[in-house]
């Protein structure tokens, strides 16, 4: 047996070292084939040209042109547009990342299997035969194999430079800039320092007040970047007001500066100076409440800009001509460089990142700044939710009176979810990660797992004994660990091991109503987990035998060791069999109890 990848109608067979479209073999140069396979194997990360050189050409010295030629041939293979890539994305001055949908299957000597499943997911289906006993689902051992699934989703990432701000103004009573060291800035005019979101905040007084200074190493030209800040205001005085602008020392009609601010009507704005490139938001923010703003720019070739307000995407666009930010690192907070109306209100925790933060990372920054915890565990402490999975997008409205914890809503049609984190007072993305909740837990949550008229179904449920993840990380495969108790809108209940990924037990609830909330309780104690749905204990099929206590063995410990149990816990949403087609799951009144 070997591995094959199916991408856009092509089968890339690593055992036969071939590429096929149906029964016809597609010619690809050997080095181009090796580059393609390497990018697919490492599709959860950006691969540098140097890494490709070392992996593919080994001891042979080649120029970057050799890599570029392979990339061009790969794009030609898929008909990929480099200006709007669907398969190979160029990350300027860093490398390449394979971003196309991949279906991983096993192959034997006769080629790929006929049962591919979604990205990074493999399913073996051996027998559909089942027999039911009341509230109990029993099945032959072969049927249990039908639930086997193998997933490679996002091994833990090291703390990358892109998650560390290259410039930060804490605004805790001074104008100092943290930029590889502490660089004093100056307050022009008058300022007050009231309580902010993370410590104190800046409140400029007068009509010509601002903060200004000079740093170093700010993103220039068309380089990727992210600007973020907390603001609270009730008026723009009917004018454009800047939160942060940087670039050249004087205003420039050629767009040599870049800024995050508020437009005339109080909506957020990400733009180059003189609006050569401009992305306005949608929500008016003049309500005297704290709001988190972030603008991410991805650079060439997409020239994509995304604007976030309070952790949620508000707008996106392409800047047709990109950016031409000047080489200077002059900056100003509270007004435009050279001229402009002073920002009326309070500003806190202004940052510049040398890279485009993704949606889960931006949402984690916003969640970190919330004053109220999402979940309190008796005897353990207070915790915040942060989103997991690279495309993870969750909505977390403020808790309603009487709710045990914040409600979580799946904001997309793919894998998403949350993990619990102890609040980091500094809101450092490198320190926001899953907390060690413990091993023996009772997890309870009310779940809505909708289905649609076309028969598409969703899944949701709690997971535990997992790897400690960062915002946007996956928790399945790679170096993950743990178990997920999954409730489906078909009434199917499964206990799934997260690594090596496998369904270890399943049951079926008859006459399941997918359009109301169901109470799920999972009690993990020692080497077993028990599950209740709406107060009724579930008897599972475990290898063909009825079991109330499902064995949960730490197979990831090996040998060889493949996963790390960090005691992390949270919720996973999925549409396992209908990815990118349906979502809408909700989880409310999530609670965790430590078992002694």
Concatenating the DSSP letter of every residue in 382-429 gives EEEEEE-STT--EE-PPPPTT-SS--EEE-SSSSEEEEEE---TT--T
Q: Please give the pLDDT value at position 136.
A: 29
Q: What is the Cα–Cα distance from 200 to 179, expressed in whole angstroms? A: 19
Mode of pairing for the β-strands spanning 394-395 and 346-353: unpaired
Lookup: tokens for 39: 């990018």
Give CATH 1.10.10.10 domain extents, the chain.
2-103
R_g of the chain, CA atoms, integer Å? 26
Q: How far is residue 314 CA from its own chain's centroid?
A: 17
pLDDT by 10s per residue, the chain, length 596 = 457 888 888 888 877 778 888 777 888 888 888 899 999 888 877 888 878 887 887 766 666 778 888 888 888 888 888 888 888 888 776 788 888 888 777 655 433 333 333 333 222 222 222 222 222 232 333 232 333 333 334 433 434 446 889 999 999 998 899 987 888 899 999 999 999 999 999 999 988 899 999 888 899 999 999 999 999 999 887 788 899 999 887 665 567 899 999 998 899 999 986 667 889 999 999 999 999 999 999 988 888 999 999 999 999 999 988 898 888 788 999 998 877 789 999 999 999 999 999 999 999 999 999 988 999 999 899 999 999 988 777 888 877 777 778 899 998 888 999 999 987 788 999 889 999 999 999 999 999 999 998 889 999 999 999 999 999 888 998 889 999 999 999 999 999 999 999 999 999 999 999 999 999 999 999 999 999 999 999 999 999 999 999 999 999 999 889 999 999 999 999 998 888 889 999 999 999 999 98
Per-residue pLDDT reduced to its tens digit, 310-352: 999 999 999 988 898 888 788 999 998 877 789 999 999 999 9
Does domain 2-103 sit in CATH 1.10.10.10? yes
Give CATH 2.60.120.200 domain extents, the chain.
167-353
Q: What is the Cα–Cα distance from 142 to 134, expressed in whole angstroms? A: 21
Residue 110 CB neighbour total at 10 angstroms: 6
Q: What is the Cα–Cα distance from 352 to 225, expressed in whole angstroms? A: 7
Q: What is the DSSP string of 212-243?
A: EEE-S----BT--EEEEEEEE-S--TTS-EEE
Q: Please give the pLDDT value at position 141.
A: 31
Q: What angle do CA 317, 321, 325 make, to 5 degrees?
A: 95
- Burial class for 532, CB neighbours closer than 10 Å (0-12, 13-18, 19+): middle
- Measured between its terminal Cα atoms, the distance across the chain in Å is 45
Collapsing DSSP states into helix, strand and coil, what is residue 367? Answer: helix
Nearest to 204 by CA among 343, 338, 336: 343
Q: What homologous superfamily does CATH list for 379-594?
A: Exo-inulinase; domain 1 (2.60.120.560)
Half-sphere exposure of 564 (CA within 13 A, CB side): 10
Lookup: tokens for 508: 């079926």
Task: Look at the pTM and tell me if it is higher than 0.85.
Answer: no
Per-residue pLDDT reduced to its tens digit, 70-86: 888 888 888 888 888 88
Give me the helix-helix angle, 30-41 and 64-78, nearest 10°: 80
Give CATH 2.60.120.560 domain extents, the chain.
379-594
Nearest to 96 by CA among 41, 58, 141: 41
Q: What is the Cα–Cα distance from 199 to 403, expressed in whole angstroms? A: 29
The domain 167-353 is placed in CATH, from the list 3.30.110.70, 1.10.8.50, 2.60.120.200, 3.40.50.300, at: 2.60.120.200
Q: Please give the pLDDT value at position 163.
A: 81
Nearest to 344 by CA among 457, 231, 229, 258: 231
């Amino acid at each position: 047996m070997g591995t094959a990848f199916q991408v856009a109608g092509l089968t890339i067979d690593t055992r036969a070292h071939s590429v096929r479209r149906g029964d016809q073999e597609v010619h690809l140069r050997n080095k181009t084939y090796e580059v393609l396979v390497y990018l697919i194997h490492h599709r959860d990360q950006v691969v540098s040209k140097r890494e490709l050189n070392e992996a593919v050409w080994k001891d042979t010295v080649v120029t970057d042109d050799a890599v570029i030629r392979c990339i061009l041939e790969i794009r030609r293979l898929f008909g990929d547009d480099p200006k709007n890539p669907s398969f190979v994305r160029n990350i300027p001055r860093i490398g390449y990342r394979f971003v196309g949908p991949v279906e991983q299957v096993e192959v034997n000597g006769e080629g790929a299997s006929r049962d591919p499943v979604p990205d990074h997911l493999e399913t073996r289906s051996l027998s559909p035969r089942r027999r039911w006993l009341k509230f109990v689902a029993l099945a032959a051992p072969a049927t249990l194999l039908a639930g086997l699934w193998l997933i490679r989703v996002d091994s833990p990432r090291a703390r990358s430079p892109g998650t560390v701000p290259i410039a930060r103004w804490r605004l805790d009573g001074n104008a100092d800039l943290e930029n590889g060291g502490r660089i004093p800035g100056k307050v022009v005019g008058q300022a007050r320092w009231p309580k902010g979101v993370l410590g104190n905040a800046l409140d400029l007084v007068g009509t010509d007040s601002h903060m200004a200074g000079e740093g170093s190493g700010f993103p220039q030209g068309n380089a990727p970047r992210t600007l973020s800040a907390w603001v609270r205001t009730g008026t723009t005085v009917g004018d454009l007001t800047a939160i942060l602008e940087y670039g050249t020392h004087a205003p420039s009609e050629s767009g040599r500066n870049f800024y995050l601010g508020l437009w005339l009507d109080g909506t957020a704005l990400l733009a180059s100076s003189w609006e050569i490139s401009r992305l306005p938001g949608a929500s008016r923010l003049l309500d005297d409440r704290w709001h988190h703003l972030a603008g991410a720019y991805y650079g060439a070739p997409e020239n994509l800009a995304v604007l976030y307000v309070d952790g949620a995407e508000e707008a996106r666009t392409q800047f047709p001509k990109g950016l031409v930010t000047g080489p200077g690192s002059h900056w100003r907070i509270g007004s435009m460089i050279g001229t402009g109306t002073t920002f009326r209100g309070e500003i806190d925790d202004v940052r510049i990142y040398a890279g485009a933060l993704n949606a889960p990372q931006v949402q984690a920054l916003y969640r970190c700044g919330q004053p109220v915890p999402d979940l309190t565990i008796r005897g353990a402490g207070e915790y915040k939710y942060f989103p997991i999975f690279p495309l993870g997008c969750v909505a977390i409205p403020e808790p309603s009176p009487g709710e045990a914890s914040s409600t979580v809503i799946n904001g997309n049609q793919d894998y998403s979810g949350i993990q619990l984190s102890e609040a980091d007072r500094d809101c450092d993305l490198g320190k926001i990660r899953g907390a060690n909740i413990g091993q023996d837990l009772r997890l309870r949550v009310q779940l809505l797992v909708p289905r649609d008229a076309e028969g598409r179904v969703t899944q949701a449920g709690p997971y535990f004994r997992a790897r400690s993840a960062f915002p946007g990380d996956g928790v399945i495969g790679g170096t993950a660990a743990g178990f997920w108790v999954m409730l489906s809108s078909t009434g199917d209940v499964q206990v799934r091991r997260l690594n090596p990924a496998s369904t270890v037990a399943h049951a079926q609830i008859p006459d399941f109503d997918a359009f109301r909330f169901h109470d799920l309780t999972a009690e993990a104690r020692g080497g077993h987990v028990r599950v209740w749905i709406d107060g009724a204990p579930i008897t599972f099929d475990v290898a063909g035998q009825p079991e109330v206590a499902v064995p949960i063995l730490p197979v990831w410990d090996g040998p060889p060791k493949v996963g790390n149990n960090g005691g992390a816990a949270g919720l996973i949403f999925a549409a396992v069999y209908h990815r990118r087609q349906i979502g809408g799951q909700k989880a409310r009144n999530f609670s965790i109890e430590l078992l002694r």
